[in-house]
């Protein structure tokens, strides 16, 4: 069930940006379960006028809801014409599959008919898994996380997300609650009972997770090398 606060945010977005607004999409965990950490919005604007108008209005919206963890992203229609060049932050072409399942709170979902090439899909999945690993290595070495995500389950979430991405290299879609069974089935004996226990614990110590990121990235490289896409 979509939380009431999401509709309030949408209403303010529409009120302030309707003059150049194409779509407002809600994606992420807040649209699926009650125990969400943040609320993820992607706003699609029609035309880039190369001034500060939309930036300042979005800044006002963020300030209005600064009491919650709000991920407020925006793009222009031109940026989503090709799924092969699409990227949302560091989430590349594969993320069109995530956004295809987003809930449109205003307008249409422009990702409904977008499908990247197999090559771009695979490369973007490996790049995201790689990014999580590199951040984990840096956190272990430097002793500090290089982003501002304070989610107490940060590493649990991102290890599971990396496993999700690994599985997505070979199938159209899956749900988060399928990850463990599918991983154990496809990669038996790679992940131990201790690994799964850690993922269900309250620990967010990078020492408990860095080798899990390493295992997943190694499997992702095996997958992409097997496919010989170049």
Does residue 113 lie in a domain region? no
Q: For residue range 126-141, what is the model confidence (pLDDT) as tens digits?
A: 999 999 999 999 999 9
Confidence of residue 230 (pLDDT cuts 50, 70, 90): low
| Boundary residue ending a domain (106, 126, 148) | 106
Q: Does residue 102 sit within a domain? A: yes
Residue 228, pLDDT above cutoff 90: no
Mean pLDDT for all residues in the chain: 94
Bridge partners, residue 41, by sequence: 26, 72
- Give the burial string for 80-101 (b: 16+ CB within 10 Å, else e): beebbebebeebbbbbbbbbbe
What is the percentage of the chain residues whose pLDDT exceeds 90? Answer: 86
Report the pLDDT value the prediction gives residue 37, as an integer from 0 to 100: 84
The whole-number average pLDDT for the span 68-95 is 94
Rounded CA gap, 197 and 199, in Å? Answer: 5
E strand or H helix at 45: strand 39-45
Residue pLDDT, tens place only, 208-227: 999 999 999 999 999 999 98
Averaged pLDDT, 133-161? 91
State how many domains the chain has. 2
73 and 131 together in one domain: no
Does residue 98 sit within a domain?
yes
Q: Which residue has the tokens 């303010």?
A: 12
CA-wise closest residue to 156 among 119, 191, 195: 195
The predicted pLDDT at position 111 comes to 97
Does 127 share its domain with 204?
yes
Q: What is the pLDDT of residues 20-79, one digit of tens each?
A: 999 999 999 888 777 788 999 999 999 999 999 999 999 999 999 999 999 999 999 999
Q: Which domain holds residue 23?
A: 4-106
111 in any annotated domain: no
Which of 37, 71, 106 lies at the terminal end of a domain, its last residue? 106
């Amino acid at each position: 069930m979509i939380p009431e606060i999401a509709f309030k945010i949408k209403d303010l977005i529409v009120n302030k940006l309707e003059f150049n607004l194409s779509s407002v999409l809600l994606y992420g965990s807040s649209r699926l379960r009650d125990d969400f950490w943040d609320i993820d919005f992607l706003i699609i604007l029609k035309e880039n006028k190369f001034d500060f108008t939309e930036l300042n209005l979005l800044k006002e919206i963020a300030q209005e809801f600064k009491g919650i963890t709000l991920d407020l992203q925006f793009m222009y229609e031109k940026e989503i014409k090709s799924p092969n060049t699409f990227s949302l932050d560091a989430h590349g072409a594969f993320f069109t599959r995530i956004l295809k399942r987003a809930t449109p709170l205003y307008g249409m979902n422009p990702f409904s008919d977008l499908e990247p090439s197999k090559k771009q899909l695979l490369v973007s999945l490996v790049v995201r898994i790689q990014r999580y690993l590199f951040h984990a290595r840096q956190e272990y070495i430097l002793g500090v996380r290089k982003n501002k995500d304070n989610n107490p389950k940060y590493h649990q979430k991102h290890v599971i997300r990396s496993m999700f991405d690994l599985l997505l290299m070979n199938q159209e879609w899956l749900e988060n609650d399928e990850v463990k069974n599918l991983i154990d089935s496809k990669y038996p004996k790679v992940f131990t009972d201790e690994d799964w226990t850690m993922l269900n614990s309250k620990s967010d110590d990078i020492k408990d997770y860095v080798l899990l990121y390493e295992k997943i990235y190694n499997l992702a490289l095996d997958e992409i090398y097997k496919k010989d896409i170049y």
